[in-house]
Amino acid sequence: MADQVSAREAIEGPIPTLDPAEALARAREGKGYWKRVWESLKDDKVTIVVAIVLLLIFLAAIFAPLIATHDPSKGSIIGRLKGFGYKDHLLGTDETGRDMFSRLVFGARLSLISGVLPVIFALLIGGSLGIAAGYLRGRVNTVIMRSMDVLYAFPSILLAIAICGILGSGLENTLLALTITFIPPIVRVSETVTVQVRSLDFVDAARTSGASSASIMCRHVLNNVLGQILVYTTSLVSLSIILAAGLSFLGLGVTPPDAEWGLMLNNLRQAIWVNPTIAALPGVAIFITSMSFNLLSDGLRQAMDIRL
Amino acid sequence: MWRFIGRRLLYAVPILLGVSIIIFALVQLAPGDVTDILIPPEAPKEVADILRHKFGLDRPVYEQYFIWLGNLLQGDLGVSIFTNQPVGSELASALSNTLMLAIPAAFLGFTLGAVLGVLAAFFRGGWLDKLFSGIAIAGVSLPHYWVGIVLVAIFAVTLNVLPAQGMGPEDGDVWDSLRHLILPVITLSLIPMGVISRLVRASVLEILSQEFISALSAKGMARRRILFHIVKNAAPPTLAVMGLQFGYLLGGSILVETVYNWPGSGGLMNLAIFRRDVPVLSSTILVLAGIFVAINILVDVLQALIDPRLRR
Amino acid sequence: MTTPTQPAPTTAARAPLMTVADLRKHFPIKRNLLGRTLSAVQAVDDISFQVIKGETLGIVGESGCGKSTTARLLMRLIEPDAGVVTFDGNTVGGAHGVGVRDLYRDVQMVFQDSYASLNPRMPISMSIAYGPLSQGMNRKAAMAVAVKLLEQVGLNPVLYANRYPHELSGGQKQRVNIARALALRPRLVILDEAVSALDKSIEAQILNLLIDLKQEYDLTYVFISHDLNVIRFISDRVMVMYLGHIVEVGRVEDIYARPEHPYTKALLAAMPSMDPRKRTETAPITGDPPNPIDPPPGCRFRTRCPHAAQICEDRTPSLNDGAATGEGHLVACHMRDRRSGHPEARSSGASQ
């Protein structure tokens, strides 16, 4: 059959064909959806600014020992709560005389870790659960979604407080608490989006190829739901940072003498009466980081809203 | 309709059971137990054992759970390890204090949020829209407890016009009590305001883009009446979120209450955490979660009332 | 790794390639607390028919008659509630029957070009190659199949292989759909409203392509559509469905020239005439189609049938009641069954 010349070819001449290996290569580098999202993102000025800000914050955290001007745990009795520029303290000193700038820079590490890591874990766990629940439906869906309902009975802060408050403070418990707090909403969003995608014809078409459910979920469903899941998840990062700092603020998260923005806020509460500007500084850091993630998420959503 | 309500109520039962199991499991997993708090570590083992027996800690786990659950269902929320007072009464007064904050904050946050959202939608693209949207994003990105601190710094420390903490003296006059409310309420209303205004803006924009609005306008309907139609369509999801936000306000007020030393349910939890007063902590969390579940059911029912499509 | 070997066809020409017996699918809407179904959409209700090897069987009916559900049941995308389907003499599904994965090597489906019949995030060559890949071919061989098929359906692979669906027109997307269906070298292809979303000129091109491919690959088609003209053009036999039942089945010439069932007559009469001398004066069919949820007992069409009688309510007519009117022309109507007791019952074959 392959040797027969079709009627079309007889009339129009041989149809130029494509070497399969080359076709494979072309398929891989084609202007896919993600490429277009990337290009759209690059054009958005707000997103670029925000991305740079976040990059700087991350770099500051990573290279904290190199950037910090002083030892973040070394205090001084006389140099407490001094303003900007006192001696060589760029941003003043805190309530035990430690350099604010250095503590902020080192604090970025713990704040970012406790903010970003739980969201990543929750995305991996919750995303898989949600996609599975949405695609496989039936009993799998019921078991997963009903379990999430139980977790949903807690307002987010309350769940985190329950875990940290009862189990104890510390970084591990904070990470655990925040991960568990964020899994239910991610599961819910993933499931909703997956259910929508599953009703589309191409999923049925994929099923008629005889592929396994796992293969279909990975190769067909995932690419179509990832966008919306990511948009939602990035918006959670800002909340996570605020919550993590909040937990430390309550004494449930990171413990002294570690530097962490929420903890610093708590320690500086009484300093409000003496030097309000210094007392407010850690909050500024939280605000900038959180806002940047929010704007990044918005930018991502806009970029993904490309009309196909 | 009643079947719907009945189903939702019935469904709440396993959820609450699940919540109680989670809390109980957490308590079991916690390091140490009651004896560490009450008696010094050097005390002889027999004393610790007697204490454990008194609290029923030597029984098998599931037995402890059912005893605890049984007590709960009879309204016994346990006794504070620290004060030896029943948790129930402490919690009740604490909750009423929290409500004093939550209700005005909800009102403020929702109305301001809705107004900002509608205005932003109508002036879409203009500077007004960008300003309001900016405020909304800021509202969601700000750690509200920090804003509380900043407000205290400005109004209490620098300007000295408003009190920095607490509820004010018990026998103080109304105006004094109100002054104590202002800052905490504003602080608490920030997050709902941010969330609602973003939601309303998006909802109104989506409705405006739908064809039936153009149809109504083409028929010559006055703008005010079109607004009414828009509100009717935007209402259900917005109400749902409002309900949830109110639940968050009740359950998540701990941070603001810590900043202002407000003796509400959050303050109670704070104290319990500090003292490792497990009965108080676990009962408070349980009650707050229960209230949140109740609010969720209420919201579902209200939504189904408004939008018949939702009655499953 | 080569294509998996097809079982040697055991079906001689003119023998049924696929048989369907008492196929049923009800979609529950309301359940009581214990899970028992209180009301359901009776989408497909105990239908039986055959697909002859080498033919094009057209299935026609209005929206909601169950034709799309039938297609998905045949493809096992939905599990039937009851009934037996055989392909090539082997039962499909069940404990000892042919598995779904094997079925898909013989039976494939072309979907309507709706919003997303192709994965928007996948280049079309990959969409086509996915079938062979899933059945065990290596990537290069699967891509070779895809490239060849793109040529077959008239899309230059050099230009189109790494395009995305949104870069293609409706007609081009349908060509890709057809290519995908053929990637596993099926013997039976089910086409569910395959040309319904296309402009008329494109529709003609695609129909011709389908006819060419059918000849080239020795295929059997089940063609589902609501468009009577298309069905007439492409089908060898036609099956008319109404509310989950088959009301008439027969050769295309017989159905169009001598329709027996009142519904078929009304359908054909309702086609706007191209001849200005033959204008439609009165509405050939009245009333609304009854609710597919809990339909009325007896003949489903009786609420709109000008010839309805008591027997029509008492007993549901079945396809085998009416005496055959021509070679394989079956009707499910009491009027065609002399023994039914219908006042107008007579042996079929009389002109109308």
Specify the amino acid at residue C262: P
**What is the pLDDT at residue C193?**
92
pTM for the predicted model, two decimal places: 0.83
Q: ipTM of this complex > 0.85?
A: no
Residue with tokens 């209420």: B298
Contacts of C31 (CB under 8 A, 6+ apart): C37, C38
CATH number at residue A163: 1.10.3720.10
Task: Say how far apart CA C332 and CA C184 lie, in whole Å.
Answer: 37
**B49 belongs to a structural domain:** no
**What is the pLDDT at residue C186?**
93
**What is the pLDDT at residue C74?**
92
CATH number for C15-235 (one of 3.40.50.9100, 3.40.50.300, 1.10.10.10, 3.60.21.10): it is: 3.40.50.300
Give how far A305 is from chain B: nearest CA, Å. Answer: 14
Comparing CB atoms, the residue among A151, A155, A238 nearest residue B251 is A155
**What is the pLDDT at residue B119?**
83
Put simply, the answer to whether C118 touches A30 (Cβ < 8 Å) is: no
Nearest to B78 by CA among B281, B307, B266, B312: B281
- Total Cβ atoms within 10 A of residue B182: 15
Contact between A200 and A243 under an 8 Å Cβ cutoff? The reply is no
**What is the pLDDT at residue B180?**
82
Q: Which residue of A has its CA nearest to B265?
A: A158
Put simply, the answer to whether A283 touches B146 (Cβ < 8 Å) is: yes
Nearest to C230 by CA among C208, C254, C259: C208
CATH number at residue B112: 1.10.3720.10
- Mutation target to probe the A interface, by most A beta carbons within 10 A, among C162, C176, C218 is C162
**What is the pLDDT at residue C350?**
41
Give me the phi and psi of A31, to 5 degrees please: -75, 85
C-alpha atoms less than 13 angstroms from C-alpha of C286 in its C-beta half-sphere: 6
**A173 belongs to a structural domain:** yes
Residues in C closer than 8 angstroms to A15, CB to CB, are 151, 156
Q: β-strands C188-192, C220-225: how paired?
A: parallel
Residues in A closer than 8 angstroms to B157, CB to CB, are 272-273, 276
- How many structural domains does chain A have? 1
Select the more confidently predicted residue: A224 or C325.
Answer: A224
Write out pLDDT tens, residues B171-223. Answer: 667 777 788 888 889 888 888 888 888 888 888 888 877 767 677 777 777 77
Nearest to B184 by CA among B169, B162, B204: B162
The reply to whether A213 touches chain C by the CB within 8 Å rule is no
Give how far C166 is from chain A: nearest CA, Å. Answer: 6
| Residues of A (1-60) whose Cβ lies below 8 Å from C | 1-2, 4, 6-8, 15-18, 20-21, 23-24, 26-27, 29-33
Domain(s) of CATH 3.40.50.300: residues in chain C:
15-235
**A161 belongs to a structural domain:** yes
Give how far C236 is from chain A: nearest CA, Å. Answer: 23
Put simply, the answer to whether C101 touches A210 (Cβ < 8 Å) is: yes
- Mutation target to probe the B interface, by most B beta carbons within 10 A, among A151, A166, A169 is A166
**What is the pLDDT at residue A178?**
93
Burial of A41 by CB count in 10 Å (0-12 exposed, 13-18 middle, 19+ buried)?
Answer: middle
Q: β-strands C90-91, C37-52: how paired?
A: unpaired
Contact between C190 and C71 under an 8 Å Cβ cutoff? The reply is yes
**What is the pLDDT at residue C273?**
66
Task: Say how far apart CA C105 and CA B274 lie, in whole Å.
Answer: 67
Average confidence (pLDDT) over C178-190? 93
Give me the phi and psi of A171, to 5 degrees please: -65, -40
- With cut-offs at 50, 70 and 90, classify the pLDDT of residue C279: low
Contact partners for chain A, using 3 or more CB pairs closer than 8 A, are B, C
Average confidence (pLDDT) over C206-210? 93
Task: Say how far apart CA C297 and CA C312 lie, in whole Å.
Answer: 9
Contact between B116 and B230 under an 8 Å Cβ cutoff? The reply is no
Average confidence (pLDDT) over C24-53? 81
Rounded percentage of chain B residues whose pLDDT exceeds 70: 92
- Structure tokens, C37: 């179904």
Select the more confidently predicted residue: B128 or B33.
Answer: B128
Average confidence (pLDDT) over B261-270? 87
- Structure tokens, B305: 């009332």
Contact between C23 and C48 under an 8 Å Cβ cutoff? The reply is yes
Comparing CB atoms, the residue among B146, B150, B251 nearest residue A158 is B251
Nearest to C130 by CA among A304, A221, A194, A132: A221
Comparing CB atoms, the residue among C77, C131, C147 nearest residue A18 is C147
**What is the pLDDT at residue A179?**
95
Put simply, the answer to whether C108 touches A26 (Cβ < 8 Å) is: no
**A198 belongs to a structural domain:** yes
**What is the pLDDT at residue C209?**
93
From start to end of chain B, where are the E strands?
none
Give how far A26 is from chain C: nearest CA, Å. Answer: 6
Put simply, the answer to whether A246 touches B143 (Cβ < 8 Å) is: yes
| Residues of A (181-210) whose Cβ lies below 8 Å from C | 200-202, 204-210
- Structure tokens, B136: 């909304």
Put simply, the answer to whether A265 touches B145 (Cβ < 8 Å) is: yes
Instruction: Work out the mean pLDDT of chain B and round it to a whole number.
Output: 81
- How many structural domains does chain B have? 1
**B223 belongs to a structural domain:** yes
Taking 60 as the threshold, does the pLDDT of residue B244 lie above it? Answer: yes
Q: Which residues pair with C238 in a beta bridge?
A: C58, C250
**What is the pLDDT at residue C2?**
42
Residue with tokens 């009423």: B96
Which structural domain range is residue A178 located in? 38-68+90-304
Select the more confidently predicted residue: C81 or A305.
Answer: C81
Write out pLDDT tens, residues C238-249. Answer: 999 998 889 999
Contacts of A262 (CB under 8 A, 6+ apart): A111, A244, A245, A246, A247, A248, A249, A253, A254, A282, A286, B143
**Helix H segments across chain C?**
67-74, 100-106, 124-134, 139-152, 157-160, 170-182, 200-217, 228-234, 252-257, 262-270, 310-314
Put simply, the answer to whether B254 touches A157 (Cβ < 8 Å) is: yes
| A-C Cβ pairs (cutoff 8 Å, strict) | 132
Q: Which residue of B has its CA nearest to A244?
A: B143
- Structure tokens, C224: 């589902």
Contact partners for chain B, using 3 or more CB pairs closer than 8 A, are A
| Own/partner long-range contacts of C12-17 (Cβ < 8 Å, ≥24 apart) | C12/C53, C13/C53, C13/C54, C14/C52, C14/C53, C14/C54, C15/C52, C15/C53, C16/C50, C16/C51, C16/C52, C16/C53, C17/C51, C17/C52, C17/C53, C17/C87, C17/C88, C17/C187, C17/C188, C17/C220
Residues in A closer than 8 angstroms to C71, CB to CB, are none
Helices and strands, counts by H and E, chain A: 14, 0
Put simply, the answer to whether C162 touches A207 (Cβ < 8 Å) is: no
| Strands across the sheet containing C237-242 | C107-110, C188-192, C220-225, C56-60, C237-242, C245-251, C330-331
Rounded percentage of chain C residues whose pLDDT exceeds 70: 85
Per-residue DSSP letter, A208: T
**What is the pLDDT at residue A188?**
92
**A82 belongs to a structural domain:** no
Comparing CB atoms, the residue among A147, A154, A163 nearest residue B292 is A154
**What is the pLDDT at residue A104?**
87
For residue A87, give Cα distances in angstroms to A90, A97, A106, C182, C250. 8, 12, 20, 79, 100
**What is the pLDDT at residue A258?**
81
Contact between C12 and C19 under an 8 Å Cβ cutoff? The reply is no
Put simply, the answer to whether C130 touches A308 (Cβ < 8 Å) is: no
Give how far A46 is from chain B: nearest CA, Å. Answer: 12
**What is the pLDDT at residue C1?**
40
**What is the pLDDT at residue C185?**
92
**What is the pLDDT at residue C214?**
93
**What is the pLDDT at residue A1?**
39
pLDDT tens digits in sequence order for chain A, 308 residues long: 344 455 555 555 555 566 777 666 666 655 567 777 777 777 778 888 888 888 888 888 888 888 777 777 777 777 777 777 777 777 777 778 788 888 888 888 888 888 899 999 999 999 999 999 999 988 899 899 989 989 988 888 888 888 888 888 888 889 999 999 999 999 999 999 999 899 899 999 999 988 888 889 988 999 888 888 988 898 888 889 888 888 888 888 877 778 888 888 888 877 777 777 887 888 888 889 988 988 888 888 888 775 44
**A81 belongs to a structural domain:** no
Contacts of C272 (CB under 8 A, 6+ apart): C280
Taking 70 as the threshold, does the pLDDT of residue C94 lie above it? Answer: yes
Task: Say how far apart CA A69 and CA A87 lie, in whole Å.
Answer: 12
Most confident of B234-238, C97-101, C203-207: C203-207
- Structure tokens, B216: 């109504």
